[in-house]
Structure 1
Amino acid sequence: MKPWTATAKDSDFSTKLHNILDEKFNPDRPNAVWYSDITYIWATRGFVYLISIMDLYSRKITAWMLSKTMEVSCVINTINKAKARRNTDLPLILHSDRRSQYVSNEYIKAAAKMQRSYSKKAFPWDNACIESFHAIIKREWLNRFKIRNYQQAYKLVFEYIEAFYNTKRIHSHCDYMSPDDFEKLYAKVQNDSLLLAG
């Protein structure tokens, strides 16, 4: 028996799954487009899985979860974390690939107030931003360590996302600011505009 689970099993390629995002990578506000994806992290005791949600406006990781399995509940829990932390009052696109977790009934229910968007079959470019993040966290941080188990992996992921990537790592997309600073600038501009209008 294999000590891991397949990570890239695509599921429903029906015409019901629309690509609403359609390579529009520059929304004009936070909470307009979220990405979600799953990647594996190798540990000496077997794979663990990182589920991430990125806000496309700032490239900020708004929610993440590390799991020993790839069950749908892990994806749902990550979405619920993001919904609890972010403003979802305005229209919001939630984009993913077509693997089974993202076409499940549980996922559809969790994303009921969002526009669900899916990458086209054999067309991965719409997932490039979140996949780039997963490549970066491995290249810049996780690959430096011989990860033993889930606990060590969790500590390393927490350190990278919460103490560096969101708060300190600059991005050319964000005019060489961190995701946090880029969103703070957006909030300041909006507040200044309201003051001027009032």
Structure 2
Amino acid sequence: KKNLDLSHKQKLLLIDRTNREISISHQVDLLGISRSSVYYEPVVNEYDLLLKRLIDEQYTLTPFYGSRKMTAHLRRNEHPVNRKHVQRLMREMGLEAIYPKPHLSQPHPEHKIYPYLLRDVSIDRKDQVWAADITYIPLARGFMYLVAVMDWWSRYVLAWQTSTSLDTAFCLEALEMALQFGKPEIFNTDQGSQFTSKAFTGMLKDNGIDISMDGRGRCMDNIFTERLWRSLKYENVYLMHYESVSEGRQGINSYFGFFNDDRLHQSLKYQTPAEVYFQRAS
């Protein structure tokens, strides 16, 4: 038996239920986890899922709503919730209002925060600035998180990945996929722990990319990805009501194909992001 330096979640992913030579009992013994955890299915709180969907829809429209206003909004729509309940749900969703707040929590001492480099910068070419962001995706019986990497000049979505938890791994996967297209001069993100991690910033620095980070609570510093989320949700997610993670992933893959190759953008003189990024004639 080896002492693998893996999280419990990562060990669960190594379980091969189709392996006829090594039983599940033997696999969990080798990995050092309990058999019951393999078969555990978390209890889904249907009402919390409904509240999260409503919070997500309202936050997409009004990202300046904090927990007080969101609580008032839900109560006006006949959902008698208290603020602590809403705060917990928004925290699980990774949401906060965009206005700056006093007494901000200090970042992790091992996570360096980089300055915002894009104020008054004219974006006039592809691969000048890329940006990444994470959003919450509601599902009929659950939820997932989505990260996307976008070229600011063309609005082309270079890569995306989904996850059922707010870990760093799926953000690294998206970054690795995006770097297959080339390298930007500047890479912009918010100050989320996934993006301030040594693994993520290290990959950027290893590729000679300047790192830029939004001010805390300032989604307008990353306005193009915020517009991407609004388009995705109102043109696809809220209309399709995806049942499962796999169905949601398939639908989002299809939408981004449409967004890149077929969706006309007024700001791009009615060209598609792919036409602008790859400089194709429309």
Map of 2:198 onto structure 1: 105
SS state at 1:117 partner: strand
User: Is 1:52 the equivalent of 2:52?
Assistant: no
Map of 2:116 onto structure 1: 19
Is the contact between residue 12 and residue 99 of structure 1 (CA under 8 Å) also seen in structure 2?
no
Map of 1:137 onto structure 2: 232
Q: Which runs of 4+ in 1 moved over 4 A?
A: 1-4, 13-16
Instruction: Kindly state the Cα deviation for residue 142 of structure 1 after the two structures are TM-superposed.
Output: 1.2
**In 2, Cα distance between the equivalents of 1:121 and 1:69?**
22
Q: Provide structure 1 residue ranges, at least 5 long, that are not aligned to the other structure.
A: 189-198
Count of paired positions = 182
User: Is 1:181 the equivalent of 2:275?
Assistant: yes
Instruction: Kindly state the Cα deviation for residue 108 of structure 1 after the two structures are TM-superposed.
Output: 1.2
Instruction: Kindly state the Cα deviation for residue 15 of structure 1 after the two structures are TM-superposed.
Output: 8.4
Map of 2:222 onto structure 1: 127
Instruction: Kindly state the Cα deviation for residue 23 of structure 1 after the two structures are TM-superposed.
Output: 5.3
SS state at 1:21 partner: coil
SS state at 1:166 partner: helix
* Cα deviations by residue, 1:121-170 (Å, 9 ceiling, x for unpaired): 332211111011011100011111221111110111011101x1000101
Q: How does 1:182-197 map to 2 (within 5 A)?
A: 182-185=276-279
- RMSD of aligned C-alpha atoms? 2.5
Is the contact between residue 260 and residue 273 of structure 2 (CA under 8 Å) also seen in structure 1?
yes
Q: How does 1:49-128 map to 2 (within 5 A)?
A: 49-84=145-180, 86-88=181-183, 92-112=185-205, 113-128=208-223
Find the structure with the greater CA-based Rg.
2
**In 2, Cα distance between the equivalents of 1:71 and 1:16?**
18
**In 2, Cα distance between the equivalents of 1:96 and 1:174?**
23
Is the contact between residue 113 and residue 196 of structure 2 (CA under 8 Å) also seen in structure 1?
no
SS state at 1:98 partner: coil
**In 2, Cα distance between the equivalents of 1:94 and 1:42?**
28
Structure 1 residues 6 and 137, CA gap change in structure 2 (3 angstroms): closer
Q: Which amino acid aligns with 2:272?
A: S
Is the contact between residue 23 and residue 126 of structure 1 (CA under 8 Å) also seen in structure 2?
no
User: Is 1:166 the equivalent of 2:260?
Assistant: yes
Is the contact between residue 11 and residue 103 of structure 1 (CA under 8 Å) also seen in structure 2?
no
Is the contact between residue 23 and residue 125 of structure 1 (CA under 8 Å) also seen in structure 2?
no
**In 2, Cα distance between the equivalents of 1:23 and 1:129?**
15
Is the contact between residue 130 and residue 152 of structure 2 (CA under 8 Å) also seen in structure 1?
yes
SS state at 1:37 partner: strand
Farther-moved stretch of structure 1 (71-80 vs 7-16): 7-16
| Identical columns (%) | 23
Q: Provide structure 2 residue ranges, at least 5 long, that are not aligned to the other structure.
A: 1-41, 45-88, 97-104
SS state at 2:242 partner: coil
What's the TM-score, normalizing by structure 1?
0.83
* Cα deviations by residue, 1:31-67 (Å, 9 ceiling, x for unpaired): 1100100001111221111100000010010000111
User: Is 1:34 the equivalent of 2:130?
Assistant: yes
**In 1, Cα distance between the equivalents of 2:106 and 2:229?**
22
What's the TM-score, normalizing by structure 2?
0.59
**In 2, Cα distance between the equivalents of 1:40 and 1:177?**
28
